[in-house]
Amino acid sequence: VLVEKQGFRHFMLKEIYEQPGVVRTCLEAYLNPDWEANQESPIKLGLPEHFYQDLEQVQILACGTSWHASLVGKYLLEQLAEVPTMVQYASEFRYAPPPITANTLTIGVTQSGETADTLAALAMEQQRRSGKTSQYQARLLGITNRPESSLAQMVAQIIDTHAGIEIGVAATKTFVAQLMAFYFLALDLAYRRQTLPLERIAEIIAGLRQLPAEVELILESQERYIEELAHEFNETQDFIFLGRGINFPIALEGALKLKEISYIHAEGYPAGEMKHGPIALLDAKVPVVAIAMPGSLYEKVLSNAQEAKARDARLIGVTPKDVPQATEIFDDLLPVPKMEELLSPILTVIPLQLLAYHIAARRGLDVDQPRNLAKSVTVE
């Protein structure tokens, strides 16, 4: 398949702009419009029945950006569907697998579908469970945008994230699509396990439906501003990204994007942990990006951000615009539309992608082919 830049300066920017369309396609593919009338699951994933049977645990294996998506997935599976979930780096799981648990769904998440560590970890799981009694048998699910990949051949079922092929080495649209897959899986399980009232499920689905337009709004209203803002970090050597709860993995992802393409050192941290180490790094030369979405942890994140400000850090807030408190605390705002905390990662990651992109592009770096990195890592 020949993929072209269609007027964008880099594939990464083009792929950032494809995200509203990807989210829309996912909603069309997996939402069941008649669920309430037919008393069916709101989500149609087409998974085999035995995947759901007496489900007690989920284990997710992934690398890199897919591992970050998996951390959001854990949050959703535990908080919405009450399934205990662990997330492991595939490269670690391979050499120290946890004891085998019964009735466990194992999910491999990979945009390329070819990552050697992820495939090997899944193969090992399949192998060590074969020959065991039925409740211990492997139930392998893949989450990928590559339905023809080696991953898809290996697992019983995949959720195709419909992101298509991604060319930029730094993952953007495939990440957002993986998040969508986890929203769907968590809602499907929440319905079947009756862990959420139907009205709440309907409310979450209504929120999901707003996401494509909200992502578009961020792209339209923010890109110019972020491009300008990027000029201010010509000398910057370190960045800290803070988030909590469901936005902690987004802080990790924001830091990873920046490292990958701009070669600036960056750390993502859960905001409440800053006082246990990274706060020692802070001074006027280290900007801090804090993700502060109104919700259960809003006040906490703002107070963590204030601690950073007290150390002279330049504070950049990813937060809704019209909240007076936030405007006072932050030096710069990367505003996102108001959205309930649970659904906000799909929005909060967008300005972080743009920030990393524009800082790297401004430095004249090869955004689509950063040094030392590959799109698909097929060796251990």
Residues 156-175 interacting with ligand G6P (rule: CB under 6 A)? 169-171
For residues 63 and 339, which CB has a smaller minimum distance to ligand G6P in the complex? 63
The number of residues that bind ligand G6P (CB under 6 A) is 17
Q: How far apart are CA 91 and CA 66, in angstroms?
A: 13
Q: Among 180, 176, 208, 161, which residue's Cα sits nearest to residue 33?
A: 208
Residues 186-245 interacting with ligand G6P (rule: CB under 6 A)? none
Segment lying near ligand G6P (by CB under 6 A), choices 3-11, 106-114, 209-217, 299-307: 106-114
Q: Which two tokens stand for residue 357?
A: 């992109």
- Binding residue for ligand G6P, selected from 59, 70, 104, 111, defined by CB under 6 A: 111
* 110 binds ligand G6P, rule: CB under 6 A: yes
For residues 280 and 374, which CB has a smaller minimum distance to ligand G6P in the complex? 374
- The mark string for 37-76 relative to ligand G6P (x by CB under 6 A, - otherwise) is --------------------------xxxx----------
* 377 binds ligand G6P, rule: CB under 6 A: yes
Tell the residue number behind the tokens 């645990």, with chain if given.
57
Q: Name the minimum Å distance from CB 324 to ligand G6P.
A: 38
For residues 342 and 367, which CB has a smaller minimum distance to ligand G6P in the complex? 367
Of how many residues is the chain composed? 380
Q: Among 202, 211, 224, which residue's Cα sits nearest to residue 176?
A: 211
Contact 289, 254 (CB under 8 A): yes
Q: Name the minimum Å distance from CB 313 to ligand G6P.
A: 28
Residue 87 has a CB neighbour count (10 Å cut-off) of 23
Residue 8 has a CB neighbour count (10 Å cut-off) of 14
For residues 64 and 249, which CB has a smaller minimum distance to ligand G6P in the complex? 64
Q: Name the minimum Å distance from CB 370 to ligand G6P.
A: 8
Reported as type and span, the H/E element at residue 106 is strand 104-109
Contact 173, 18 (CB under 8 A): yes
Segment lying near ligand G6P (by CB under 6 A), choices 242-250, 286-294, 334-342, 368-376: 368-376
Q: In this structure, what DSSP letter does residue 86 have?
A: E
Q: How far apart are CA 175 and CA 253, in angstroms?
A: 9
Footprint on this chain of ligand G6P (rule: CB under 6 A): 63-66, 110-112, 115, 118, 169-171, 373-377
